Structure formats: structure tokens, C-alpha cells
């Protein structure tokens, strides 16, 4: 990896801010998901109740519903995007701190309500940070900016996930959640000093305009429906294989949960960040279209590393290789894919359009990935991961069909 590229890039205030905004964006997620489930498990809460708490994450999939309001209304401080960022971050400190003082045993409903509020505020912060990133980064900065953002996001998930669990054993859950709330000041400090995006477009005049005009703008483009299909399909190999990776490693191969935690969650995280960083640096030279083709091919092909593991059996070095390759290539694909979503957004409606496009990108994971278990039962592990690689073919073919559209996006954003 060319670290000198990122050393130079991080001197760019806009790109440097992406690291800390990514951290602020990623921190609350585990606190309303895995870490909260662990807290409830330690407190011996009924598993049915813990399962119901999965609904707490609903705002992340519904954030496009209130994104138009964040496009329409401009707060009287810190500009169109940074004002909303500050409000969301201050409110997150309050809601996470409030969760710390509620017992899962004595007041599970109150804790659930606070978790939903935290999830809503976190999703709202994501909406406006995504819009800010889209508005502030130039076309030539997007690859590196997205990669740095992904690195900050993943580090935050590690802090509020694995690190929070370790911390809870030493200082208790209340102090742990308060510590996590304090870490949100990283986002506040960044919001106060990060540069204001260029004023390239006026905000919609009414809330109706904010809801309707983004759709009208997008569907007025040539091949709009095909572009939407590309968004659904591009990350599908990653999602399809990913939903079965942990069951494969534990039940299929017989690795211990500790092995999987250390390699798949620990080493895999490092590999993903490294892939995102390298992918971002390469995008500067390759451009958006060629990066999407190359990284999309590698992302799909990396599933074959798990086919290799399934074929040779329980061999630790092969497991490490498979996990590393899959996460590294997935990180490269993520950098290019997020850059594509950003390029598709009109600055006048970037909050709404990015929220809609990112929600669409999850459709494959939500509606197609549930068939993965049936595919494993029918074809076996080796063939399942080979099938996961083939799932990437339609997206790559669509990408080639849309070559001129994507190249025009690059020219229009220069």
C-alpha cells in the first residue's frame, strides 16, 4: 500500500475530517445492537426479549423517510450540513448517557425506548454525514475520502463492540456506556472545525419539493432504472457469502468461536480497512469506472477463497488466507461503491438521494441473502461459495452496459 499517498491526503483537512466523522458515525451502532445484546445477556434477560430488541435497528433502514427534512431545513448555525451534524451528536451523547442509567432487568421497556431514540439519532447523523461527505469531497478526493471514512467507521465499531465488552468486565455497564457517550465528543469537535462544503445548490423550498424533486431528478437521467439495479446487485456477492461465513467457519469447518472472533472479526477488520485504503488510493489513478470493474471482479472472486477452505478442510493458515482475501477485496469494493453513490447524488438533494440509494443497496442482503442457507443445504459449502462468486456476474455485466453513464458521472463531478 502506498502510505505516502494517505500521508499527503490526511494533510487535506477535508479528507482528515472523514476519519473522525467515520468514527462518530460508527460508534453508536453496536451500542444499540451487539453490545446491548451482550449487556442484556449478562443481566439474564429472556432470549425472546433480546430477540425483539433487533427491531431497535429499524431506523437505519427507514432513514430515507425523514432525510428530505434534513435537505429542506437549514439551521441558523454551522451551515446546511454541519448544523444538523452537531444537533445529532449532542443528542446522541444525551441518549447514550440516559441508556447507562437504565437497568435491563427493572426497566426493559424504557431501555428499549432509549435504544430506539439512539438508533434514530444515529441514523439521522448518518444521513447528514453522508450528505456532507458527498458535498465536500471533490471527484478526485472521493476514493481516499471514502477509504479514510470506512477506516474510522470500522475502528469505532471495534471500540463500541469488542472494546466495550472488555471494558464492562472492569468498570461495569453503566460506566462503559458513559465512556462511549464521552467518545461522541470526537464527532462534535470535528463538526466544529471541519470545512464548510461549497454552496453548489440551493435547498428545496418546501418539504414536498424535498421529497419529490430528488426522485424526479434521479429518474430524469438516462438508464436510471438500470443504475438502480446495479446498486442492488454490485455488493450482492459480499452480502450473500457474508451471511453464511460465521456458520461455515464454526459448524462447517469446526473452528472454535474464539478462532472465529480473533481471525474473522479481528484480522478481518484489519484486512478490510487495508483493502479500503488501497482501493481509495488506486481510485485516484484508475478513475471510478475502472475501479468499479476491477474491485467488483476481485470482490466476487474472493468468495472462491472460502471454496478453497471448504475443499481442503480445517487448516488454520488457509482460514486466515480466506478471511483476509475476502475482507481485503470487500474493502476495495466498498470504497468504489460508496464513491459511485456519491457521484449519483445531486448536491441539492444529497441527504435524501444518498439515504435512498444506500437503502436500496441493502435490498439484496435483505431479500436474496436469506436463500443462502437453502443453497448450502442443496449444493454444499464448496459449491455455495462458488455460486456466491457467480452472483457477482450480473452486476459486472450491468456495469459494463453502463460504462458511458459512469464515465459521464466522473466528468460531471470534476
Q: Which is more confident, 397 or 60?
A: 397
Q: Are 389 and 324 in contact (CB under 8 A)?
A: no
- How many Cβ atoms are within 10 Å of 219's Cβ, its own excluded? 11
Cα diameter, the chain:
62
Q: Which of 32-41, 130-139, 193-202 has the lowest mean pLDDT?
A: 193-202
* pLDDT value of residue 308: 94
Q: Give the model's confidence band at 390: pLDDT under 50 very low, under 70 low, under 90 confident, else very high.
A: very high
* pLDDT value of residue 284: 79
Is residue 200 scored above 70 in pLDDT? no
Q: Give the model's confidence band at 234: pLDDT under 50 very low, under 70 low, under 90 confident, else very high.
A: confident
Percent of the chain clearing pLDDT 70 (strictly above):
92
Pick left, alpha or beta for residue 345 (phi over 0 → left; psi -120 to 50 → alpha; otherwise beta). beta
Determine whether 284 is exposed, middle or buried from the number of CB atoms within 10 Å of its CB (0-12, 13-18, 19+): middle
Is residue 264 scored above 80 in pLDDT? no
Segment 159-168 mean pLDDT? 82
Q: Give the model's confidence band at 181: pLDDT under 50 very low, under 70 low, under 90 confident, else very high.
A: very high
* pLDDT value of residue 159: 87
* pLDDT value of residue 370: 67
* pLDDT value of residue 369: 63
Q: Give the helix/strand (H/E) hosting 67.
A: helix 67-72
Q: Are 276 and 291 in contact (CB under 8 A)?
A: no
* pLDDT value of residue 276: 86
Percent of the chain clearing pLDDT 90 (strictly above):
26
* pLDDT value of residue 345: 83
> Residue 104: helix, strand or coil by DSSP?
coil
- Domains along the sequence of the chain with CATH: 1-200 (1.20.1250.20), 204-414 (1.20.1250.20)
- Give the residue among 277, 264, 272 at the shortest CA–CA distance from 299: 272
CA–CA dist 135, 286 (Å, integer):
22
* pLDDT value of residue 114: 94
Q: Give the model's confidence band at 187: pLDDT under 50 very low, under 70 low, under 90 confident, else very high.
A: very high
Is residue 362 scored above 80 in pLDDT? no
Alpha helix segments (H runs only) across 73-141 = 79-100, 108-136
Angle at CA of residue 188, ends 277 and 39, nearest 5°: 80
Is residue 379 scored above 80 in pLDDT? yes
* pLDDT value of residue 320: 92
CA–CA dist 70, 67 (Å, integer):
5
Task: Rank 38-52, 316-330, 365-379 by mean pLDDT and report only the highest.
Answer: 316-330
Q: Give the model's confidence band at 21: pLDDT under 50 very low, under 70 low, under 90 confident, else very high.
A: very high
Q: Are 40 and 104 in contact (CB under 8 A)?
A: yes
* pLDDT value of residue 41: 76
Is residue 6 scored above 80 in pLDDT? no
**Helical axes 79-100 vs 13-31, angle rounded to 10°:** 30
Q: Give the model's confidence band at 405: pLDDT under 50 very low, under 70 low, under 90 confident, else very high.
A: confident
Please state, rounded to an integer, the average pLDDT across all residues of the chain.
Answer: 84
Task: Rank 46-50, 368-372, 375-379 by mean pLDDT and report only the highest.
Answer: 375-379
Task: Rank 52-56, 192-196, 294-298, 368-372 by mean pLDDT and report only the highest.
Answer: 294-298
Segment 105-122 mean pLDDT? 91
Pick left, alpha or beta for residue 232 (phi over 0 → left; psi -120 to 50 → alpha; otherwise beta). alpha
CA–CA dist 25, 33 (Å, integer):
14
Is residue 316 scored above 80 in pLDDT? yes
Segment 248-271 mean pLDDT? 78
Segment 259-276 mean pLDDT? 81
* pLDDT value of residue 96: 95
Amino acid at each position: 500500500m502506498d502510505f505516502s499517498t494517505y500521508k499527503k491526503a490526511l494533510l487535506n483537512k477535508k479528507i482528515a475530517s472523514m476519519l473522525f466523522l467515520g468514527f462518530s458515525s460508527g460508534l453508536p451502532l453496536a451500542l444499540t445492537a451487539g453490545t446491548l445484546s451482550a449487556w442484556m445477556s449478562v443481566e439474564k434477560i429472556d432470549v425472546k426479549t433480546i430477540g425483539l430488541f433487533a427491531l431497535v435497528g429499524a431506523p437505519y433502514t427507514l432513514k430515507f423517510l425523514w432525510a428530505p427534512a434534513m435537505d429542506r431545513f437549514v439551521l441558523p448555525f454551522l451551515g446546511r450540513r454541519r448544523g444538523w451534524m452537531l444537533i445529532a451528536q449532542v443528542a446522541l451523547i444525551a441518549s447514550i448517557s440516559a441508556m447507562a442509567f437504565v437497568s435491563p432487568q427493572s426497566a426493559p421497556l424504557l431501555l428499549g425506548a432509549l435504544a430506539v431514540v439512539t438508533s434514530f439519532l444515529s441514523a439521522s447523523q448518518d444521513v447528514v454525514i453522508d450528505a456532507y461527505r458527498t458535498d465536500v469531497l471533490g471527484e478526485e478526493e472521493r476514493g481516499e475520502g471514502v477509504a479514510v471514512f470506512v477506516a474510522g467507521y470500522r475502528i469505532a465499531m471495534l471500540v463500541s463492540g469488542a472494546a466495550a465488552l472488555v471494558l464492562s468486565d472492569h468498570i461495569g455497564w453503566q460506566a462503559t456506556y458513559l465512556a462511549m457517550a464521552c467518545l461522541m465528543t470526537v464527532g462534535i469537535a470535528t463538526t466544529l472545525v471541519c470545512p464548510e462544503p461549497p454552496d453548489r445548490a440551493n435547498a428545496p423550498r418546501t418539504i414536498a419539493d424535498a421529497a419529490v424533486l430528488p426522485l424526479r431528478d434521479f429518474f430524469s437521467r438516462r438508464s436510471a432504472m438500470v443504475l438502480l439495479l446495479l446498486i442492488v446487485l454490485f455488493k450482492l456477492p459480499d452480502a450473500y457469502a457474508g451471511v453464511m461465513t460465521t456458520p461455515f467457519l464454526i459448524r462447517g469447518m469446526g473452528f472454535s468461536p474464539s478462532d472465529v472472533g480473533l481471525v474473522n472479526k479481528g484480522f478481518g477488520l484489519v484486512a478490510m480497512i487495508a483493502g479500503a485504503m488501497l482501493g481509495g488510493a488506486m481510485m485516484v489513478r484508475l478513475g471510478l469506472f475502472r475501479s468499479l470493474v476491477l474491485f467488483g471482479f476481485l470482490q466476487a472472486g474472493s468468495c472462491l477463497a472460502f471454496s478453497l477452505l471448504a475443499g481442503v478442510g480445517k487448516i488454520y493458515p488457509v482460514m486466515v488466507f480466506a478471511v483476509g482475501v475476502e475482507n481485503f477485496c470487500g474493502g476495495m469494493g466498498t470504497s468504489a461503491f460508496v464513491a459511485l453513490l456519491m457521484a449519483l447524488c445531486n448536491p441539492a438533494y444529497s441527504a435524501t438521494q444518498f439515504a435512498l440509494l444506500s437503502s436500496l443497496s441493502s435490498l439484496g442482503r435483505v431479500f436474496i441473502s436469506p436463500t443462502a442457507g437453502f443453497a448450502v443445504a442443496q449444493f454444499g459449502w464448496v459449491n455455495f461459495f462458488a455460486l456466491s462468486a457467480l452472483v457477482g456476474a450480473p452486476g459486472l455485466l450491468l456495469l459494463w452496459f453502463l460504462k458511458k453513464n459512469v464515465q459521464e458521472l466522473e466528468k460531471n463531478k470534476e
